[in-house]
């Protein structure tokens, strides 16, 4: 250190405290970076890398950005998952004795962004924290610093529960203890967490005690303390906008795991990862940013509280019945700015006068919104109107204090209205009259000297001066003015009277600017005291916005109000997939019904590819989700149970991040459903078993169906290409076959997209290949091979046993309907097998195995041990 210059020593000392962040080190009008920071920043930001002397022989790498454009560069780094420590000069360089004092005033991280491009207006920016307790449970808390909301819960001793909460929130940053399991940390990063941060302090600061007084468990307090301590340490300023922490339980909401949310495309599409084409995109007719955020929260977490669901549906219906009031409400909501984030910026201290004007315009709309709601004649909508707080004190203050069109800067004046402060008015009068006096003096001096080009100007170096061109200098009397400056074509002069007036004007202007800033700060602090009222108002307005959005979509798309059954009945008449229907637009969507009850727990869906099996399954799940967030549903009639969970296994894709094959992903998702589903859950299984060999896949598919049927009892939609499984309708009393119909016309397949009772009679695989555009000669050859193979003997699935297991056969025998072709030249006939005691023991061990809980390595070891027993 001693070899470096004092300034570089200061830099290194500060940098040592922020090793995981870029240090933006203020030097004059630039933020500079040195050493490794400079090398990385130059590459990431594509800026010029230079070097400078630092006291050693080797020059120090350096790069920098102008302070006024720094926010743009900071945003780019944050979006890439980096952190940025802002180090400012904290004393006047002209007053400094030696090196200027500097310190970090804020650490900006992906989870603590307060403004800029990284903060999407209709998405929350969550910072989460995870605490692992000695009993195996996890404390989980999260906050959105920009809105001040924070919540906490306890999760069971399962890593997947933690990862699922992170995924549901889309948390950008997670704060943990350094000793948290490294494997879990890696899985967090795999779930798109941009930054992992560390905080070891779990003692709660007294300043935050009022925010946690409702927390009744020490685990809650420890978890929240880690979160708040991290925020306090990184932001280094007032966080008075933080709202009291609320607790929640995961089981209070419909549980939709990460894979199911992805498969159903609730908030983003599988292909483009964008909002367009998702359920959220369909529903978003919100007019405010805070309404858009609440809508996403509801889609992520549908309710299971029937009373709350019914209340939302009632408000949606009342808005549908009040067309003209709804349209007026939408126009009024367009004038409401983001109250939540405005409150956050007021507390944070980075609000400007234009922000306060936005706040004023928003609050001026509240009486208008109240009046509209009062005309809807609905009990629930009028109750919403009663909750609207006019915040008259804030309105009066802002109307009297802030000018209509203030500048962005809060330190250059012209913010405060005339008449708001007597002292300010006096300064302004002196400034304005002084300038009038200057203009009058200029006219008088022109008349007295006869120099029409004489002018009085001003610059910051010399102040006010009289300027006369060289051509007119001869008209001046000797000693009339005091010479101040000589220019190429003119001379500048001053007079004692002019300097005296200058002192008065400049003092007034200086004091005026200082006083305006003081007044603005006082106004901001007075509003800061009212932040809880603004946040409560924001909640009411955003809920109103979401429910009017539901009404708008429901009326436009002819949705109906769902009913809820107590006997787990599903009756959807003429149901449609909401997003597909919108995307098709002018094309006619083919609706389909779904009926499930105590006698129809599982629907086994067969039919050709591209016929609409997956769409049909998804539309049932989306209908249930729409109902449980409080929206009407796309059908002519809908009776539904309240589902506690939705599980899906739809689509095939390798998990390249964790190195898992399509089949392994398929099995993991199936295991998740089987391990966690209840009788009140909804399961969608699409083509289970297709990722392995035909017989393995068919055996697994049948075993999964039997397990769900015999042991779980969830409402289940199971699509398959294994037509042999359709015989299970005779074996399992609560399973029914349905199929998506298609017809063959002049050698071409025509998909009818209509669900009908019974199994499909044909696969149409070659027809689909033909539609895909495969070469004609290839299609002809495929038909020849199919004709040849259809003459071969066929096999039948293993019959189900009453206890849900399967009888052990050496082969499977003929099925009714279509064929599953044998891969053997001559199928072995089924026969009764006599087993020895040792063999029976091995078979019993096989029966006891839970295959879905075995890793591939464990399975190989078990197989090896069993083989040894047989051979011995």
Annotated binding site for ATP, which residues? 607-614
Supply the DSSP symbol for 722. -
The length of the chain is: 872
- DSSP-based three-state secondary structure for 496: helix
Residue 441 contacts residue 454 (beta carbons within 8 Å):
no
Report d(CA 712, CA 718) in Å as an integer: 15
- Residue 108, strand partner residues: 84
Torsion sign over Cα 322, 323, 324, 330: positive
Supply the DSSP symbol for 303. B
Report d(CA 803, CA 20) in Å as an integer: 58
Continuous segment of H or E residues that includes residue 536: helix 531-556
- The annotated binding site is made up of 607-614
**CA–CA distances in Å: residue 266 to residues 249, 614, 781:** 21, 15, 42
Residues 6+ away with beta carbon under 8 Å from 773: none
Residue 549 contacts residue 283 (beta carbons within 8 Å):
yes
What is the DSSP secondary-structure string of 652-695? ---BTTTTB-HHHHHHHHHHHHHHH--TT-EEEEESTTTTS-HH
**CA–CA distances in Å: residue 333 to residues 118, 157, 345:** 24, 44, 21
CA-based nearest residue to 163, from 171, 175, 151: 171
Neighbours of 433 (CB within 10 A): 14
Tokens coding 36: 């490794």
Report d(CA 736, CA 705) in Å as an integer: 12
| Torsion angle (degrees, nearest 10) of CA 231, 236, 242, 247 | 20
* Block residue for tokens 């906490």: 152
Report d(CA 297, CA 849) in Å as an integer: 41
Residue 800 contacts residue 731 (beta carbons within 8 Å):
yes
- The half-sphere exposure of 487 on its side-chain side, counting CA atoms within 13 A, is 13
CA-based nearest residue to 538, from 342, 329, 675: 342
Residue 380 contacts residue 318 (beta carbons within 8 Å):
yes
Do the bridges between strand 715-719 and strand 682-686 make them parallel or antiparallel, or are there none, so unpaired? parallel
Q: Alpha carbon 532 to chain centroid distance?
A: 24
Residue 549 contacts residue 296 (beta carbons within 8 Å):
no
Helices 392-401 and 496-528, axial angle in degrees (round to 10): 170
Residue 303 contacts residue 628 (beta carbons within 8 Å):
yes
């Amino acid at each position: 250190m001693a070899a470096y210059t004092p300034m570089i020593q200061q830099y290194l000392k500060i940098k040592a405290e922020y090793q995981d962040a870029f240090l933006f080190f203020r030097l004059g009008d630039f933020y500079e970076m040195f050493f490794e920071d400079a090398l990385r920043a130059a590459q990431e930001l594509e800026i010029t890398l230079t070097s400078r002397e630092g006291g050693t022989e080797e020059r120090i790498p350096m790069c920098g950005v102008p302070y006024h454009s720094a926010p743009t560069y900071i945003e780019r780094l944050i979006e890439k998952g980096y952190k940025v420590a802002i180090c400012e000069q904290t004393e006047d360089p002209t007053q400094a004795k030696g090196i200027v004092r500097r310190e970090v005033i804020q650490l900006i991280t992906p989870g603590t962004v307060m403004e800029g491009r990284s903060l999407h207006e209709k998405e929350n920016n969550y910072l989460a924290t995870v605490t692992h307790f000695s009993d195996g449970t996890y404390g989980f808390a999260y906050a959105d610093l920009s809105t001040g909301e924070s919540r906490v819960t306890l999760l069971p001793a399962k890593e997947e529960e933690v990862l699922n909460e992170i995924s549901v929130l889309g948390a950008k940053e997670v704060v943990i203890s350094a000793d948290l399991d490294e494997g879990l940390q890696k899985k967090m990063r795999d779930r798109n967490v941009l930054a992992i941060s560390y905080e070891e302090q779990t003692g709660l600061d007294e300043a935050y005690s009022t925010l946690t007084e409702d927390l009744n468990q020490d685990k809650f307090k420890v978890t929240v303390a880690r979160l708040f301590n991290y925020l306090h340490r990184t932001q280094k300023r007032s966080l008075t906008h933080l709202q009291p922490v609320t607790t929640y339980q995961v089981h209070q909401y419909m549980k939709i795991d990460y894979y199911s949310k992805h498969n159903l495309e609730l908030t983003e599409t599988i292909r483009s990862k964008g909002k367009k084409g998702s359920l959220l995109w369909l529903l978003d007719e919100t007019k405010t940013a805070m309404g858009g955020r609440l809508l996403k929260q509801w889609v992520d977490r549908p309710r299971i509280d029937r009373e709350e669901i019914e209340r939302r549906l009632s408000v949606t219906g009342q808005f549908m019945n009040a067309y003209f009031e709804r349209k007026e409400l939408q126009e009024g909501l367009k004038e409401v700015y983001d109250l939540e984030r405005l409150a956050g910026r007021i507390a944070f201290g980075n609000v400007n006068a234009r922000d306060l004007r936005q706040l004023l315009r928003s609050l001026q709309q509240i009486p208008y919104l109240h009046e509209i709601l009062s005309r809807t004649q609905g009990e629930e909508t009028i109750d919403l109107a009663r909750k609207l707080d006019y915040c008259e004190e804030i309105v009066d203050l802002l109307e009297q204090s802030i000018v209509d069109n203030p500048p962005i800067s809060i330190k250059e004046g012209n913010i405060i209205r005339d008449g708001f402060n007597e002292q300010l008015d006096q300064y302004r009068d002196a400034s304005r009259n002084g300038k009038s006096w200057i203009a009058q003096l200029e006219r008088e001096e022109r008349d007295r000297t006869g120099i029409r080009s004489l002018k009085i100007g001003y610059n910051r170096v010399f102040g006010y001066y009289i300027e006369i061109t060289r051509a007119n200098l001869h008209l001046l009397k000797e000693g009339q003015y005091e010479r101040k400056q000589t220019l190429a074509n003119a001379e500048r002069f001053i007079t004692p009277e002019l300097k005296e007036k200058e002192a008065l004007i400049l003092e007034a202007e200086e004091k005026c600017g200082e006083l305006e800033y003081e007044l603005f700060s006082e106004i901001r602090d007075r509003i800061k005291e009212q932040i809880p009222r603004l946040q409560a108002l924001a909640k009411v307005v955003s809920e109103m916005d979401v429910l009017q959005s539901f009404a708008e979509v429901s009326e436009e798309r002819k949705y109906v109000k769902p009913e809820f059954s107590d006997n787990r009945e599903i009756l959807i008449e003429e149901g449609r997939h909401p997003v597909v229907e919108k995307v098709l637009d002018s094309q006619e969507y083919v609706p389909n019904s779904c009926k499930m009850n105590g006698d129809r727990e599982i629907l086994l869906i067969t039919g050709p590819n591209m016929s609409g099996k997956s769409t049909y399954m998804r539309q049932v799940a989306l209908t249930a989700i729409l109902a449980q967030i409080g929206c009407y549903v796309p059908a002519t009639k809908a009776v539904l149970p309240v589902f506690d969970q939705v599980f899906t296994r739809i689509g095939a894709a390798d998990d390249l991040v964790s190195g898992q094959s399509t089949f392994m992903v398929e099995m993991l998702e199936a295991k998740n459903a089987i391990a966690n589903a209840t009788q009140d859950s909804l399961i969608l299984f699409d083509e289970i078993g297709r990722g392995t060999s035909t017989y393995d896949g068919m055996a697994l598919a049948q075993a999964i169906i039997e397990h769900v049927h015999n042991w779980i009892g969830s409402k289940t939609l199971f699509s398959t290409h294994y037509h042999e499984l359709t015989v299970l309708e005779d074996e399992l009393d609560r399973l029914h076959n349905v199929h998506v119909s298609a017809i063959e016309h002049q050698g071409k397949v025509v998909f009818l997209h209509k669900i009908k009772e019974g199994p499909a009679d044909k696969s149409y695989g070659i027809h689909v290949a033909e539609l895909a555009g495969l070469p004609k000669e290839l299609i002809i050859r495929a038909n020849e091979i199919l004709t040849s193979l259809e003459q071969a003997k066929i096999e039948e699935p293993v019959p189900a046993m009453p206890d849900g297991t399967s009888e052990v056969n050496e082969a499977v025998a003929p099925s009714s309907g279509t064929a599953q072709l044998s891969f053997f030249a001559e199928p072995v006939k089924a026969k009764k097998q006599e087993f020895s005691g040792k063999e029976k023991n091995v078979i019993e061990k096989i029966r006891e195995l839970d295959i879905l809980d075995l890793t591939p390595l464990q399975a190989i070891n078990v197989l090896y041990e069993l083989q040894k027993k047989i051979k011995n």
